[in-house]
Chains A and B, each alone.
Chain A
Amino acid sequence: MRTAFYLLPLAMAPLFANDFWLVQILGRALSLGVIALSLTFLAAYLGVVSFAQTTMAGVAGYTVAYFGPNTVDVGYELPFYVILPLAMIMATLSGALIGLIARRSQGIYAIMITLAIAVAFFYFTRQNYSVFNGWTGFSGLRAPDIAGINLRAPVPFYLLCLGVAALSLVLVNGFIKSPLGLTIQAVRDEPKRVLAIGIPTTPVIVAAYAFAGFIAGSGGILNIWLQERISSFSVGLGPIVDILVIAVIGGLKHPIGAFIGAIAFVLLDTFAVDFIDRERFNTLIGLVLLAIIMGAPDGLHGLAKSWLSRSAKRPAKIKT
C-alpha cells in the first residue's frame, strides 16, 4: 500500500517530466538512493554505519567497466548477461570481505575501519593501471540493449532505475523478515545473546554486509551507466560523504529514507548552483546536515512521519 503511494507518481513521471528531470534528477536520485539504501540497511538492522558502501558500488561499477564496452582499451569485452551477474557477485563478495574485516567493530570503530578500507581502495584504484586504469579510469561506458530496449534512452533508463529501486526496497523489506534478517537484528540488539541461543555471530555479520554489497552493487551499476564513466574519484571521499549525507538526511531508521534523502540531495546539488557558488555547495550541504541532525535526528522520513501522525490525530481532538 505505502509502496504504491510512492511508486505511482514516480512511474507516471515520464508522462510529464522532460529528459533532464527523468535522468539527471530522478534517475540519479534513484541510483544514489539504492547505494544509500545499502547504508541505511546496515545502520537500521545491523546497527553499524558503514563508509564502505561507495566502495562496494564501485566494485560492481569497475567490473562492468572492465568487462564491458569502454573507450580506454582496458579489459575484455563479455556479453552483458555475463557481466551483470558477475558484477553483482563481485559486489556481494566485496561486501562479505569488508564485513569479515569489520565484524568486531561497532560505533565509531566500524566507521573508522570501513572508512580506512574505502580510502585504501581509492588509493589502490589510483595506482593500479592494469585493472583500474589509474586515476583516469574508464570512460565511454554504455548501458546495453536488453531485449531490444535501448537502456541509454532517457525513458527506459529512468524506468530501469525506478524498477531497480523498487525491487531493492522490496528485497530489503522481505529480507529483514526472513530468519537470517531477524538474526541480523538480533545481533544488532544483543550479540551476546545471539551466541547464547546457539548462533555464531560472524557469519551473520558477514551475511549482512554481503547483502548490503549486493544492494550497493546494483546502485553502482546504474550510477556508471548514468555517468558513462568511472574512475578513482567515483570511489573517493566526495562520493563516500555524499552517500552518508543522503542516508542521514533521509533518515537511518527506515529504508525509504535513503530515497527521500537522495531526492533532496540531488535537488540541492542541481539547483543550489543557481543561488550560490559551486564552491559553497559543501557549506550548504553541511548546514543542511547540521540542521537535520540537530532538528530531526531521524531525518526527513522521521520528520514526515511525526508530522503525519500529528495531523492524523488533530481531527479527533476537535471532536471531543
Chain B
Amino acid sequence: MPVSYDHKAANALEIQGVGRRFGGFWAVKDVSLTVRPGERRAVLGPNGAGKTTLFNVLTGDLVTSAGTIRMDGADVTQMPMHKRIKGGLRRTYQHAHLFNGLTVRDSLFLSVCGVAGGWQRFMPLRLNDGAVAKAETLAQLSGLSAELDREVANLSHGQRRQLEIGMALAENPKMLLLDEPAAGLSPSERPRLAELLLSLPKHITIILIEHDMDIALKTSDSVSVLHNGQLLAEGTPENIMSNEAVHKVYMGGAHGH
C-alpha cells in the first residue's frame, strides 16, 4: 500500500523511544513526544537532565542510539545535520558556537547562503547581493544592526546570544530549537528576548529550553519536563506548575535563583 503523508496534518516533530548513550550512561532515554506545527513547546528540567542532548539528537549534532525521529512526517533519524537544516530546522547553542573570525554581517550572510544556496561562489561578492540584504534584515530582527561590521570575537555576551538567534532565523525556518537563549542575559535584556520570541510568525514551531520561568511560560503553550534523561511530565504550563512530581525534582531548585 503506498504511504503518503498529508503534510498539513503531519506533526512538526514526532519522536519515538529516542535515546542517546555516552558509554554506559543514557543521557536521554526512551523519550517519545509529539509537537504540532506552530506549537510553542518549552522543555524544562534540572541541570544534566538531558535537554541539550535531546536537542543534539534532534538536529543531528549527535547520532541517536535508539528510537526514531520524524519531522513533517518524514523519518530523519539517519539524515545528516546539514540536510535537516535545509529542510527547515534551525537551532541555537547553549554555549554560543559562533564564527569568531568573521563579522556579524558575514556570519548572517553565510546563514542565509547555507539554506538558500550560494556559499560555493568563489568570486568576490557584488554589492547588491540579495543574501547580504537578507543578512542585514536578520541583523535588524535580532537587534544587531549597529554591529554589522564588528568581528564576532569582540561582541558582548548578550550580543553573541542575539547573533545565535539571528543566524537561526535565516530563510524562513519551520522549526526552531532554542537552547537557553536567555542564559547570561541581563534582566533588562530578557523582556526584549521574550518579545522577539512572541513576535515570530505563528507558523514556526518553537521548542525552547529555558531556565527562566517567566520567559518559558510566557512564550509557550505546552511544557515537557525531562529528568534523568526521561520524560517526567507533559502538559499546559498551568498543569506543570501544579504537578507534584515536577515540583519535587525541579521547581524547588529553580525558584531559588
Q: How far is the CB of A20 from chain B (nearest CB, A)?
A: 39
Which chain A positions have C-beta within 8 A of B81?
195-196
By CB atoms of chain A within 10 A, which of B99, B123, B170 has the most?
A: B99
Which chain A positions have C-beta within 8 A of B114?
194, 197-199
Report the nearest B residue to A197, measured CB to CB: B114
Interface residues of A in 173-202 (CB under 8 A from B): 174-175, 177-183, 185-186, 188-190, 192-200
Whether the pair A178, B122 counts as a contact (CB closer than 8 A) is yes
Query: Other CB < 8 Å A-B pairs besides A178-B125, A189-B102, A193-B99, 18 of them?
Result: A177-B124, A178-B123, A179-B109, A179-B125, A180-B122, A183-B113, A186-B99, A188-B101, A189-B99, A190-B97, A190-B99, A193-B98, A194-B110, A196-B85, A196-B97, A198-B82, A198-B114, A207-B122
Q: How far is the CB of A165 from chain B (nearest CB, A)?
A: 20
Confirm or deny: B59 has a beta carbon within 8 angstroms of a beta carbon on chain A. Answer: yes
By CB atoms of chain B within 10 A, which of A181, A188, A197, A199 has the most?
A: A197
A-B contact pairs, 27 of them (CB 8 A): A174-B124, A179-B121, A179-B122, A180-B120, A180-B121, A181-B122, A183-B119, A186-B110, A188-B101, A189-B101, A192-B61, A193-B167, A194-B110, A195-B61, A195-B80, A195-B82, A196-B90, A197-B115, A197-B167, A198-B82, A199-B82, A199-B110, A199-B113, A199-B119, A207-B120, A207-B122, A211-B122
Which chain B positions have C-beta within 8 A of A181?
122
Q: How far is the CA of A98 from the CA of B167 in the complex (A)?
A: 32
Q: How far is the CA of A195 from the CA of B86 in the complex (A)?
A: 10
Confirm or deny: B111 has a beta carbon within 8 angstroms of a beta carbon on chain A. Answer: yes
- Enumerate chain B interface residues (CB-CB to A < 8 A): 59-61, 80-82, 85-86, 90-91, 93, 97-102, 106-107, 109-111, 113-115, 118-125, 131, 167, 170
Report the nearest A residue to B92, measured CB to CB: A196
Which chain B positions have C-beta within 8 A of A193?
93, 97-99, 167
Given known A-B contacts A195-B85, A199-B82, A183 and B110 have beta carbons under 8 A apart: yes
Partner of A179, one of B80, B86, B107, B120: B120
Which chain B positions have C-beta within 8 A of A211?
122
Q: How far is the CA of A183 from the CA of B131 in the complex (A)?
A: 14
Q: How far is the CA of A185 from the CA of B107 in the complex (A)?
A: 10
Report the nearest A residue to B107, measured CB to CB: A186
Q: How far is the CA of A188 from the CA of B102 in the complex (A)?
A: 11
Partner of B111, one of A178, A197, A203: A197
Whether the pair A200, B98 counts as a contact (CB closer than 8 A) is no
- Enumerate chain A interface residues (CB-CB to B < 8 A): 174-175, 177-183, 185-186, 188-190, 192-200, 203, 207, 211
By CB atoms of chain A within 10 A, which of B90, B119, B124 has the most?
A: B119
Q: How far is the CA of A190 from the CA of B106 in the complex (A)?
A: 14
Q: 3 tightest A-B contacts by CB?
A: A197-B114, A198-B114, A198-B85
Q: How far is the CA of A181 from the CA of B123 in the complex (A)?
A: 9
Q: How far is the CA of A189 from the CA of B107 in the complex (A)?
A: 11
Q: How far is the CB of B64 from chain A (nearest CB, A)?
A: 16
Given known A-B contacts A192-B97, A196-B59, A179 and B82 have beta carbons under 8 A apart: no
Which chain B positions have C-beta within 8 A of A200?
80, 82
Whether the pair B82, A182 counts as a contact (CB closer than 8 A) is no
Whether the pair A185, B102 counts as a contact (CB closer than 8 A) is yes
Q: How far is the CA of A200 from the CA of B80 in the complex (A)?
A: 9
Report the nearest A residue to B111, measured CB to CB: A197
Which chain B positions have C-beta within 8 A of A198?
82, 85-86, 114-115
